[in-house]
Amino acid sequence: MINPQQGNRIILLLFAIALAVAAFFVQWGVVTITAEDLRESVTINGQKAGDDVSGLFGSMMTSMFSGMKVPVSGSNGNLVLGPLKIPYWLAILSVIIGLLLTVTNSLQVSAIPRKLILGLLAVGVVCGLWALVVLLTNGSIGLGSLLLVAASIIGFTQQRPLHS
């Protein structure tokens, strides 16, 4: 039988899931493209162009896209760690799975280890905070990363067992 404390926990966790889902659709920030970004990201025949992007093509690309503002969301953004690019949607999915596992543990349907759930939720906090820093240094921040961090923190607070 579900007691009121457990019902409140389920409602709070469902709210956190809604926040995480909203983080996928909401804008995380706006990035301003620089000429250096263009040189680093242009590929020709599958190889990085680097400093070879020169002449008419390079100057045309630089003049057209330099200073352009590009919105970043949970569906198109990446967490860049050197050569590794982790899409924001993967962190969102991790948090949603962690929250759903917390719901199933709370309903005593499963007994998933708390350390696994904390790890899944930690991915959301790390990704959200890292995105805040990167977006703030390269443009402006939006609401998406804050929603993901809030959903993760709600999940962290609901990991303690209920007292009957």
Could you give the number of structural domains in the chain? Answer: 2
User: Which domain does 9 fall in, by range?
Assistant: 4-33+70-157
Q: Does residue 162 fall inside a structural domain?
A: no
Return the C-alpha torsion angle 70, 73, 79, 80, nearest 10.
-20
Report the predicted TM-score, pTM, of the whole model to 2 decimal places.
Answer: 0.80
Note whether 120 and 53 are same-domain residues.
no
Is the pLDDT score of 8 beyond 60?
yes
pLDDT in tens, 108-137: 888 889 999 999 999 999 999 999 998 888
Q: Does residue 127 fall inside a structural domain?
A: yes
Note whether 103 and 42 are same-domain residues.
no
